[in-house]
A = this chain, B = another copy of it.
Amino acid sequence: MRHKGSHRRADLEAVLAAGFLCHLGVTVDGTPMVVPTAYGTEGDRIYLHGSVASRSLVQAPDTTVCVTVTHVDGLVLARSVFEHGVNYRCAMIYGVPRLVTDPEEKLRGLRALTEQCAPGQWDYARQPSRKELAATALIALDLTEASVKIAGGPPDDGDSPDAELGLWAGVLPVVTTFGAPLADPVLPPGIEPPAHVRDREGRVLGEAVRPPAADDTSM
């Protein structure tokens, strides 16, 4: 099976753990608006950064949003155009978001978000002041209503009549990695990137997700 769906919590956590950017869908005046934004998870919650979402939350409370996290793993190049596709892992979370106002939770949420993007930075960089915290829009969403979709493996037409065409078929992998840290041009000489930043160079983003088990819901 090239496509699998899953409602397992472990699959959801694995997809979320492998990234830091989501696409948030909010309905503004009846129209869906899809914006990229950073996220972090903590326990049963996902925290999102975003003024767009917070504006729509204020304008239309109790409105469901959709948060989608997608990792592209490769292009599926089949013998026929019809069987072409994309290998990906995708998590979709639905829920009514909550604007985080409690300063303590806000700090915890921002920490989760910062550490998701750049592990080690929360303790390294200057943490938010009370004023900065107030100026940051953070929203929280429960992970209760979520699903994972995974498309993986080679093309599907290896045992079709098209196999007789003698064409090459397979997957062209898509790999996302961290590059070498680029220092701020105004940084004084002699300040080197800390180990938690330096060590990410060459590391693959979006990895370490196990495929869903055989008993998962098929898509």
Contact = CB atoms under 8 A, between A and B. Distances in A.
A158 interface: yes
Nearest to A186: B158
Contact of A31 (B64, B70, B173): B64
Given A79-B125, A170-B187, A68 B34 contact: yes
A49 to B, nearest CB: 9
A137 interface: no
A205 B86 CA distance: 14
A197 B183 contact: no
> For chain A, which range describes its interface: under 10, 10 to 19, 20 to 34, or 35 or more residues?
35 or more
A176 B19 CA distance: 13
A132 to B, nearest CB: 4
A90 B26 CA distance: 17
A174 interface: yes
A125 to B, nearest CB: 5
Given A27-B32, A81-B127, A86-B117, 6 more contacts: A20-B75, A21-B86, A82-B128, A82-B136, A158-B185, A175-B178
